[in-house]
Amino acid sequence: MNEVLLTLGFGLVTAAILALSAVAFTLEYAVTNVANLSHGEILTIGAYAAYVIQRATGNILFAALGAAVAGGIIALVMYTAVIDIFVRRGIGTMSTLIATLGMSFVIQNILVIMFGAANVAYTIPQSAPQQIGPFLWTSTEEEIIISALCITAILYVIITHTKFGKALRAVFQNRSLARVTGINAQLVAAVTWFLAGMVAGYAGFILAESVGTFSPYFGFSFFLITLTAAVAGGLGKPFSTMAGALIVGIALEFTGGYISASYELAFAFAILAIIILVRPRGLFTKAGRTLFE
Amino acid sequence: MSNEVVTLSVQGLTAGYGGPPIIEQVSVKASRGEITAIVGPNGAGKSTLLKTVAGLIRPTAGKVFVEGKEVSGLPAEKLVRRGIAYVPQVENVFPDLTVRENLDMGGYVRKSGVRERIEQLFLLFPDLKAASHRRASTLSGGQRTMLALARGLMVDPAVLILDEPSAGLSPKFQGLIWERIEQIRATNVAVVIVEQNTRETLRHAQWAYVLVLGKNRLEGPGHDLLEDDEVVNLYVGRLS
Amino acid sequence: MIQYLVSILTEGAIFGIMALGLNVIWGWSGDFDLAYYGYVALGAYMTLVLTIGPPFPPTEYILGLQLPYLVAVPLAMLSSAIMGLIVGLIALRHLRGIYFSIVTLGAVYVLYVMAGQYVPLFNGYNGLYGLFNPMGAALGLDFQSYQYFFLGFCLFIFILVLIFMARVSGSRFGLALRSLREDERAAAAFGRDIYLLKLKAYVLGAAFGGLAGGLFAAYLSAFNPSAWAPIEAIILYSAVLVGGKGNIKGVVLGVVIMIMLIQESTRFLPEFPGNPAVVPALREMVVGAVLVLFLLFRPQGLLPERRYVDRFSYDNIDPGVAVLPAQAREASSHLPSPAQDGEQSSSTALSPLSVAESVAEAPVHQPLAQDRTEVPASEAAVLIVEGLYKHFGGVAAVDNCSFRVQKGQVTGLIGPNGAGKSTAIDLISGFKLQDAGSVVFEDTAIQGMPPHRIARLGLIRTFQTPREWPGLSVLENVLLARWDPEREALWRGIIGLRRFHHLTAKSELDRAREILAEFGLSKLSNERAGNLSGGQKRLVEFARIRMAEPKLVILDEPMGGVNPVLGERMAKAIDGFIISGTSVIIVEHNLPFIERVAHNVIVMSQGSVVATGPFESLRSNQSVIDAYLGEVPV
């Protein structure tokens, strides 16, 4: 039982990082109806920004903030320079999807040019693991979980209790109807992407902390797991996405004992495939019965 | 055209979806307290005209005035504050929100008086009051149209633009919708309406414009047009 | 220099085969398949393990045979086809769009990880090597001349593949496949088995991926995960996109451009000391940027897909119903360019027939009952619905619904919104699965059957919005109305005779032209169907029905979005259906239209039938008035 709780504890750390990454992705989807395949790159940039700032100032708080700001900025650039243009021209979602793949390539390679392709070590002094209830966490891991909870709470308040959150939900349900109600859909989308980018940038920072190394490609591999969590929760729905992330994060941690790390991603994909086949609209929505329903 | 003050004035509007223009040099006028109809055969550009006036499509030429002030080229979200409310033909409610939440959303740009306005509209649409806690996706087609109309009225518009509100509705509901539209007209709103059911529309319209192939063709009081055999043969049809 | 050219051309030929295979799945079937490069990789791996002989430890891999190259490659193709079959069986059943792409991405990722990590399979990260100059020894070639030989060999295979694809493209199989991409529901409504067709296309594409992989393995003489980098896949997809999805020449052009772009774009840049990754990174960036720009400005690619062009002169056709040649001719022939992707919001485009629409036909007297085609009373029922029941959530949309439809008549189905009419039609035609009840069509129980099987039995339906196949021409739309199992078989597409017979029999083509003339659509026969106005699209749908000659057609609000001026023409078309032996069920809110065409009317309310009878009798039926008619205007 102790084993199980211990693993659960580690799973929660993974789930925390995953939840932030996934909710950012799903918010991006909610306001533009586009699955941003270069989402992982936001995390990568967050990690690099944190690394650079940490090396320059030695201050971890600045590094975390820098990661968030960098993430927000790059997401905003992605939105205004590419996605918004596609959306405004009425170009279909599949084509925009492919375009985000192209964007991903461009960004990854810019990072390669700037920083080289090799892995970068990111070590932060942390305390020895402490016993918190039944779980065993280092100070870093505690910070990760607490900050994830705080960010989630803030997002919850914004989405459900502010006028902006209302506008966000309206744009998600019906963009043009939202516009004729007086909502500036473009502005709402841009602000949402900036927010989502901040969350994702920060997620990149804590991921790099937690794993210890990163490279220009690390965001992309984590993105595949993010996608699993987001689809499991239901694209565009922030809170069920977090639930999905919790499930996926913990599941991965538990199976990690039985399969080696290199298979982890493949396993995540297998889960994803099964979810999509059985419940394409997410674990929490009923599936239709024929292809046409 | 009646000699009252003109609430909406569209002059020489040209717009399209990127290729050749769908509407060219179209001019229409509408006044408060009147129903102005836009009719015409398929492909005439009626829907495009409405969407352009509503700010969803950017015109390439022409001017639009609301109560004397120019609003040409403004996007939809800004036009709402200038007194233009648009009710699209399809997907005209927020499906996952309740009736009340939909109306609430309709009042997004209002600085105050949202609740009072909702109560006012419930008087006009008693069916909606009864269903105020139901999600919009569970409403019948006719009820949804009513909700869409009410949503548009939340901003106390000067101009209410309706895109085929009775599309797909049973004759009974069509009658109800027209009743409401007349009531809305009576509250001193300028109603601009495009309808496939041309005969009924011309019966109610104080003034009607006939668009063909994206350009103005005819105009006149609705009743007069309805009595003109040629108009009926060309644009109304016997089977309607 | 020559060496360089030879290797570029060889690569080009191999990539060309890959791209042509991908085009079958992405361009024609319309599915963005991210697993495709996996089939190439599998083909390469399998070719190697079948030709390089048993493994020397510490290398490990399966099989390890030493078959001749020309035997190994077809076997490798087969293995790719089998993997394609497995992935396709799973992914194509219910998934489309982004979900399909994600699942295929998952599949290829799993294969990638297995190949790279599970050493006993293909020697893990180190991969396989040792396929030197296959067939070279037998032909006694030295290293130099082998390069030329292999180039010639690859080009030869490439040209064979090109011819193959051209035949498939122009075949009825190819056309049917593309109709799936354009509108699946309509394709199913006209008898196409969507799942099977897409599966065939998928396996075909995968097989060619395997073929390319086999050639690739010989070209590289090795294969391992690093040859499987995402950039290779992106280049492949970009080639198809840039050149033009769906157009074979376009795809080849795309390959040429991408290869030149990759090789030449960074030619003049110096090496960056300290960061050897810069130049390849720049190359990849160029690819990514090109992809984005093309999607933005030219998503259909450089050479858009072509439609079958019929150069027939219609002057000699004697239309059965009055056409308006004068007005049709006087309208301008200038038509808007095709919408981007076909995915932009549809708007009614200006077209010659809009003018014809607005001009009245011969003066029409008031619609009276006697305008309808006289129909002898018939006892036979073409459709019997019994106790049909379907609920969504807690609400019964169709609730114990029963009715009979007489053969040879037009039966109207009216009722308020939410009465369950459309759901009932979906249930009858197989597009929704009923919870209970039976549907008997001409003595066959059809409840539970998938829509394409019901269509093949002779029951066709239309939808509330016009569902033409927008990317195909009007003529192609009409030709496809008849399900032709013989001609639509894949093997027929490859081996059939001249293109003419390949696509359709001459008699069928003649019939299509006749029907187009009858509906006044001859001027538009080569026009892209998606460019037509709403009313014209409805006419195309009617033309399709005429062509298909079903036993029963169900029209779901055909007057929706159609100007009432076209009413009489539509009514005459429905008369024409009856005369040619097709029974009609029509759902409509336009009551004068129902009065004009229907012999019998069924009224539904709240999921079940509340009244039936001739229209006149219903007008005075109080419950019908209360539920539906309200005050009918004079």
Query: Cα A53 to chain center, whole Å?
Result: 22
Cβ–Cβ gap C347/B19 under 8 Å = no
Task: Please tell me which residue, A118 or C583, carries the higher pLDDT value.
Answer: C583
Kindly state the tokens that stand for C13.
């030929």
Chain A residues within 8 A of C341 when measuring between CB atoms: 91-92, 95
Radius of gyration of chain C from Cα atoms? 29
Phi, psi of C348 (to 5 degrees): -75, 120
A232 SS3 class? helix
Cβ–Cβ gap C350/B22 under 8 Å = yes
Q: Which residue of C has its CA nearest to A231?
A: C99
CB atoms within 10 A of CB B12: 13
Measured CA to CA, the distance from residue B17 to residue B22 in angstroms comes to 8
Task: Please tell me which residue, C620 or A154, carries the higher pLDDT value.
Answer: A154
Q: Looking at domain A2-123+135-278, which CATH architecture does it have? A: Orthogonal Bundle (1.10)
Q: Which residues pair with C410 in a beta bridge?
A: C584
Domain limits for position B106: 8-236
Chain B residues within 8 A of C415 when measuring between CB atoms: 170
Residue B87, judged by CB atoms within 10 A of its CB (0-12, 13-18, 19+), counts as buried
Q: Which residues pair with C401 in a beta bridge?
A: C388
Which residues touch A274 (CB under 8 Å, ≥6 apart)? none
Measured CA to CA, the distance from residue C124 to residue C112 in angstroms comes to 10
Measured CA to CA, the distance from residue B156 to residue B174 in angstroms comes to 24
Q: Which residues pair with A214 in a beta bridge?
A: A120
DSSP secondary structure code for residue A281 in this structure? T
C417 SS3 class? coil
How many CA atoms lie within 13 Å of A180's alpha carbon, on the beta-carbon side? 32
Cβ–Cβ gap B42/C562 under 8 Å = yes
Q: Which residue of B has its CA nearest to C567?
A: B239
Q: Which residues pair with C415 in a beta bridge?
A: none
CB atoms within 10 A of CB C558: 25
Beta-carbon contacts below 8 Å between B and C: 147
Cβ–Cβ gap C292/A82 under 8 Å = yes
Judge whether B2 lies within some domain. Answer: no
Query: Among residues 115-154 of chain A, which lie with CB inside 8 Å of chain C?
Result: 116-117
Looking at the 3D structure of chain B, how many domains does it have? 1
Contact C228, C41 (CB under 8 A): yes
Contact C458, C551 (CB under 8 A): yes
C4 SS3 class? helix
Cβ–Cβ gap A181/B97 under 8 Å = no
Kindly state the tokens that stand for C219.
């070209």
pLDDT score for C503: 76
pLDDT score for C345: 31
Name which of A173, A174, A184 is nearest B77 (Cβ-Cβ): A184
In sequence order, what DSSP letters do the residues of C48-105 get, joined into one string? HHHHS-SPPTT---S------HHHHHHHHHHHHHHHHHHHHHHHHHH--HHHHHHHHH
Name which of C355, C358, C414 is nearest B235 (Cβ-Cβ): C358
Which residues touch A96 (CB under 8 Å, ≥6 apart)? A34, A83, A86, A87, C295
Report yes or no: C279 at the A interface, CB cutoff 8 Å.
no
pLDDT score for C44: 95
Name which of B22, B196, B203 is nearest C347 (Cβ-Cβ): B22
Contact C217, C223 (CB under 8 A): yes
pLDDT score for C357: 38
Ranges of chain C whose pLDDT falls below 50: 319-371, 500, 632-634
pLDDT score for C378: 57
How close is the nearest chain A Cα to the Cα of B232, in Å? 34
Name which of A96, A265, A277 is nearest C109 (Cβ-Cβ): A265
For residue range C100-157, list pLDDT tens digits in order.
988 898 888 888 888 888 888 898 888 898 888 888 777 777 877 888 899 999 999 9
pLDDT score for C330: 28
Mean pLDDT of all residues belonging to chain A: 85
In sequence order, what DSSP letters do the residues of C366-412 get, joined into one string? PP-GGGSPP------EEEEEEEEEEEETTEEEEEEEEEEEETTSEEE
Chain C residues within 8 A of A35 when measuring between CB atoms: 98
Judge whether B1 lies within some domain. Answer: no
Question: What single letter denotes the amino acid at residue B95?
Answer: P
Q: Which of B42, B47, B194, B202 to mutate to test the interface with C (most CBs of C within 10 A)?
A: B42
Report yes or no: B108 at the A interface, CB cutoff 8 Å.
yes
Name which of C98, C295, C433 is nearest A91 (Cβ-Cβ): C295
Q: Rounded to whole angstroms, what are the CA distances from C492 to A117, A120, B40, C27, C584?
A: 51, 57, 48, 21, 34
Is this model's pTM higher than 0.80 or not? yes
Cβ–Cβ gap A97/C98 under 8 Å = yes
Interface predicted TM-score (ipTM) of this complex, two decimals:
0.90
Judge whether B154 lies within some domain. Answer: yes
How close is the nearest chain B Cα to the Cα of C465, in Å? 11
Domains annotated on chain C, with CATH: 2-228 (no CATH), 229-270+277-306 (no CATH), 404-629 (3.40.50.300)
Cβ–Cβ gap C94/A280 under 8 Å = yes
- How is the beta sheet containing B190-194 ordered, strand by strand? B84-87, B159-163, B190-194, B35-39, B207-212, B215-220
Q: Which of C565, C574, C575, C619 to mutate to test the interface with B (most CBs of B within 10 A)?
A: C565
pLDDT score for C634: 38
pLDDT score for C286: 86
Cβ–Cβ gap A91/C299 under 8 Å = yes
In sequence order, what DSSP letters do the residues of C438-455 get, joined into one string? EEEETTEE-TT--HHHHH
Chain B residues within 8 A of A159 when measuring between CB atoms: none
Name the neighbours of A, counting chains with at least 3 Cβ pairs within 8 A. Answer: B, C
Query: b/e for B147-179, b at 16 or more Cβ within 10 A?
Result: bbbbbbbbbebbbbbbbbbbbbbbbbbbbbbbe
Measured CA to CA, the distance from residue A107 to residue A101 in angstroms comes to 10
Contact A221, A44 (CB under 8 A): no
Judge whether B60 lies within some domain. Answer: yes
Q: Which residue of B has its CA nearest to A184?
A: B77
Ranges of chain B whose pLDDT falls below 70: 1-4, 42-43, 237-240
Judge whether B35 lies within some domain. Answer: yes
Q: Which of B170, B174, B195, B213 to mutate to test the interface with C (most CBs of C within 10 A)?
A: B170
Question: What single letter denotes the amino acid at residue C570?
Answer: M
Cβ–Cβ gap C282/A109 under 8 Å = yes
For residue range C208-220, list pLDDT tens digits in order.
999 999 999 999 9
Helix crossing, C36-51 with C69-94: angle to 10°? 150
How close is the nearest chain A Cα to the Cα of B186, in Å? 23
Q: Rounded to whole angstroms, what are the CA distances from C589 to A167, C426, C506?
A: 36, 18, 40
Q: Rounded to whole angstroms, what are the CA distances from A66 to A70, B227, C59, C119, C356?
A: 6, 73, 47, 42, 65
Query: Cα C323 to chain center, whole Å?
Result: 32
Count the helix, strand and coil residues of chain C and give each as a percent rounded to the nearest 5: 55, 10, 35
Cβ–Cβ gap B213/C417 under 8 Å = no
Query: Cα A93 to chain center, whole Å?
Result: 20
Phi, psi of A212 (to 5 degrees): 100, -20
Q: Among all chains, which residue has been given the structure tokens 């991969």?
A: C127
Consecutive H or E run containing A210: helix A185-211
What are the residue boundaries of the structural domains of chain A, listed by start?
2-123+135-278
Which residues touch A289 (CB under 8 Å, ≥6 apart)? C432, C433
Judge whether B3 lies within some domain. Answer: no
Cβ–Cβ gap A280/C99 under 8 Å = yes
For residue range A100-110, list pLDDT tens digits in order.
989 998 999 99
SS (H, E, C) C131-173: CCCCCHHHHCCCHHHHHHHHHHHHHHHHHHHHHHHHHHHHCHH
In sequence order, what DSSP letters do the residues of C12-36 get, joined into one string? HHHHHHHHHHHIIIIIIS----TTH
